A = this chain, B = another copy of it.
C-alpha cells in the first residue's frame, strides 16, 4: 500500500493522475484472489491508507467498509488473471489520451526502435516491436472487462493497453515493476506523439 501511495504522489507531480483519475491495485492474496485497490473518487496524489480497500475475485469488498472500489476494479482482476501479475496501474495522461484517440481507428499503435522499450520486462533490444492495443471506452464495466480479457488473450506479449480517451493500463510482478512500465510507456507515448508534430 505504501508503494502505491508513493507512486500516486509521483504520478500526480507529473500530471498523470489529475482530478481523481487513475486507479491502482496490488495482489494481497493469490488463493483466494484478493486485491488491495484504490477506492472510487480518491485523489491519487494524496492517498492515505483509508483510500484503499480489499476486494475478492468478483470485485466485492472483503470485510466491512463503506468505500466502493474503483469502477474499473473488474479490469484490474482481468489483468491479474490473464498476466499472473502482482500490481496493476492505470494512469491518465494528456499524451496517452491524445494517442488513444489519434490511433483508435487502427486498433492500437506500434512502438519500435527505442532503447526505452528495454524498460519493459523481458525486452532485450530496441529492435523489439511493441504493439499497444487501444480499446473503445465503455461505461458498462462487465462488457469492458470482457473486451479487456479478449484483447489480452489476442496480444499475449503486450505490456500495456490504452482505453480510448481514457489513458493507460500497465502492470508488473511488483509495484516497482509496474511503475517502471508506467514511466517507460508514458515516455514512449510522449515521444511518439511529439514526433508526429515534427
Task: Give the interface size class of chain A.
Answer: 35 or more
Q: What is the bound-complex CA distance between A198 and B163, given in angstroms?
A: 19
A125 within 8 A of B: yes
A166 within 8 A of B: yes
CB-based contact B187/A15 at 8 Å: yes
What number of copies of this chain does the assembly contain?
Answer: 4
A48 within 8 A of B: no
A129 within 8 A of B: no
Interface string of A90-115 (1 = CB under 8 A from B): 00101101100110000000000111
Among candidates B15, B20, B98, B198, residue contacting A180 with C-beta atoms closer than 8 Å:
B20
A19 within 8 A of B: yes
Residues of chain B contacted by A33 (CB below 8 angstroms): none
Interface string of A123-150 (1 = CB under 8 A from B): 0111100000000010100000000000
